[in-house]
């Protein structure tokens, strides 16, 4: 078995000679076989291996198993790292929480001790269980790839070199090699879906077809290749249609709506994977279908809520992914000479006397800027607020226009209208809406000796 294992690892370049490798070892048959195989590989390639073990404290036997593993590593000259899961309530969502705790511990060791590789003992039966569980629960195509043999993790790589072997094959090797291992009694309980798959479903499928595990592996590989193809098609479209702003994403949908349904569907899958999923938002098939329905509607402006206060907002040929605004309607702020204000984390506003530039904070110096010269007759301090219903701006001595009409004429999305700032003189005349329009009242006359300059900066 070792030669098959070693050839597989070298062929896939899982490590290079003289590297440091961290092994996730539970004490079960799978991980103890991995430890044995890697001890032999370490001698061949001058590897430095170490063991990371988590005691979940879910069984009485856990302490003695951890003690054996620690003693074994000491006798073999292998570095040993361990940690106990001290959570008070371990009854809810046990598997997922325990897994998160383990991998956070592994990542911590890798970073502190500079291990570029983490190897786990997942095998072919684990792959079958995982794929069947995802099919049962309902899952996107990308997730049906199952357990990946190699992926990025922490600041290095997570590798599963035993995926080519069945559980039965590992058990036979352990028995033949007299490897000491421990049985986890919780694996016998059918309280967990994975165990029910392991005990009740997979044996039936294996009996139905002895090549079942081989077919599952082949299926996973085909899905991985299909996913790779989809990603290669969607990535350039994402770069063309999607723009990342400081606190939201905008998507141009005019071309997307002309594409086939298959392109639309997988583009949205890719879009969410690149945007909201890293934000911790759980996306399901319902969200995809709602998004597709939304962009098909003829109405120029529509919106839908998704998880964790995020919204999908359609505005003409643009869709925005953003969090619900928490701004307070009608709240006013004031601005005076040499007293700049941060309007938000991404916006800064100041008024200065021309020729006497105000000192800008280092953080805003590279932000996009917009400026407006105003006459010395403008009453200070200026008033800053968001727009209100009925707001009008004087474009000429004879023409005033509603701000809402200006936004409509420009096809300005509602979420941008809500974020726009309105700047008024102290006597409540609107003089400027940064990035949109300014009043004739602000235009300096030739006879003015002192001019003010309004400076608006935004982090796009």
Q: CATH number for the domain including 292?
A: 3.30.465.60
Domain check: are 23 and 65 in the same one? yes
Residue 280, marked binder: no
Count Cβ atoms below 10 Å from residue 320 Cβ, excluding itself: 19
Residue 27, marked binder: yes
Residue 330, marked binder: no
Model pLDDT, residue 385: 92
Is 377 contained in some domain? yes
H/E element holding 110?
helix 94-113
Question: Of 95-99, 203-207, 336-340, 448-452, where does the model show the most confidence?
Answer: 203-207
Is 435 contained in some domain? yes
Domain check: are 212 and 312 in the same one? no
Model pLDDT, residue 329: 45
Residue 427, marked binder: no
Is 366 contained in some domain? yes
Domain check: are 251 and 296 in the same one? yes
Mean pLDDT (the chain, rounded): 88
Domain check: are 294 and 164 in the same one? no
Domain check: are 318 and 342 in the same one? no
Model pLDDT, residue 300: 75
Report yes or no on whether pTM surpasses 0.75.
Answer: no
CA distance 283 to 285: 7
Average pLDDT of the segment spanning 395-416: 89
Domain boundary among 272, 297, 323: 323
Orientation angle between helical segments 29-45 and 2-11, nearest 10 degrees: 70
Q: CATH number for the domain including 413?
A: 3.50.40.10
Instruction: Count up the domains in the chain and report the number.
Output: 3
Q: Which two tokens stand for residue 415?
A: 């979420």
Is 239 contained in some domain? no
Residue 379 has pLDDT above 80, yes or no: yes
Model pLDDT, residue 405: 92
| Residue 194 CB partners (closer than 8 Å, separation 6+) | 95, 129, 133
Structural domain that includes position 266:
245-323
Domain check: are 289 and 361 in the same one? no
Is 235 contained in some domain? no
Q: What are 97-124's pLDDT values in tens digits? A: 888 999 999 999 999 999 999 999 999 9
Domain check: are 256 and 208 in the same one? no
Domain check: are 272 and 401 in the same one? no
Domain check: are 56 and 179 in the same one? yes
Q: What are 281-291's pLDDT values in tens digits? A: 888 888 888 88
Domain check: are 109 and 254 in the same one? no
Do 457 and 347 contact (CB within 8 A), yes or no? yes
Domain check: are 184 and 307 in the same one? no
Residue 29, marked binder: yes
Domain check: are 163 and 269 in the same one? no
Is 227 contained in some domain? no
Residue 325, marked binder: no
Query: What percent of the chain stands above pLDDT 70?
Result: 97
């Amino acid at each position: 078995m070792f030669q098959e294992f070693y050839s597989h690892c070298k062929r896939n370049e899982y490590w290079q000679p003289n590297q440091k490798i961290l092994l996730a070892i539970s004490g079960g048959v799978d991980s103890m076989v991995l430890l044995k195989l890697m001890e032999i590989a370490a001698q061949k390639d001058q590897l430095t291996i170490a063991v990371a073990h988590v005691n979940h404290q879910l069984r009485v036997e856990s302490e003695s198993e951890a003690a054996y593993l620690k003693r074994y590593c000491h006798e073999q000259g292998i570095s040993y790292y361990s940690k106990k899961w001290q959570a008070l309530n371990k009854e809810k969502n046990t598997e997922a929480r325990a897994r998160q705790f383990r991998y956070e511990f592994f990542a911590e060791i890798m970073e502190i001790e500079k291990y570029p590789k983490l190897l786990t003992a997942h095998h072919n039966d684990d792959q079958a269980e995982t794929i069947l569980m995802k099919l049962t629960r309902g899952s996107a195509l990308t997730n049906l790839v199952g357990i990946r043999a190699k992926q990025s993790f922490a600041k290095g790589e997570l590798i599963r070199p035993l995926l080519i072997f069945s559980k039965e094959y590992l058990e036979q090797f352990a028995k033949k090699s007299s490897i000491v291992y421990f049985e986890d009694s919780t694996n016998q309980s059918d309280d967990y879906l994975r165990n029910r798959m392991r005990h009740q479903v997979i044996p039936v499928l294996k009996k139905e077809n002895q090549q079942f595990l081989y077919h599952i592996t082949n299926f996973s590989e085909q899905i991985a290749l299909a996913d790779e193809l989809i990603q290669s098609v969607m990535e350039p479209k994402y770069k063309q249609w999607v723009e990342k702003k400081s606190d939201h994403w905008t998507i141009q949908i005019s071309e997307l709506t002309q594409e086939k349904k298959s392109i639309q569907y997988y583009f949205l899958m890719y879009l969410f994977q690149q945007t909201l999923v890293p934000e911790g938002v759980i996306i399901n098939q319902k969200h995809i279908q709602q998004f597709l329905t939304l962009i098909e509607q003829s109405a120029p402006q529509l919106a839908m809520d998704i998880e964790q206060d995020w919204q999908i907002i359609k505005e003409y040929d643009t869709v925005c992914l953003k969090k619900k605004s928490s701004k307070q309607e009608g709240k006013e702020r004031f601005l005076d000479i040499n007293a700049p204000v941060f309007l938000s984390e991404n916006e800064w506003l100041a008024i200065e006397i021309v020729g006497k530039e105000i000192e800008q904070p280092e953080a805003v110096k590279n932000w996009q800027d917009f400026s407006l010269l105003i006459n010395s007759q403008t009453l200070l301090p200026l008033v800053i607020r968001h727009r209100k219903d009925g707001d009008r701006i004087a474009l000429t001595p004879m023409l005033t226009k509603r701000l809402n009409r200006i936004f409509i004429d420009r096809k300005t999305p509602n979420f941008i209208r809500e974020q726009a700032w309105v700047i008024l003189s102290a006597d409540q005349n609107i003089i400027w809406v940064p990035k949109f329009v300014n009043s004739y009242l602000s235009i300096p006359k030739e006879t003015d000796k002192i001019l003010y300059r309004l400076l608006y900066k935004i982090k796009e």
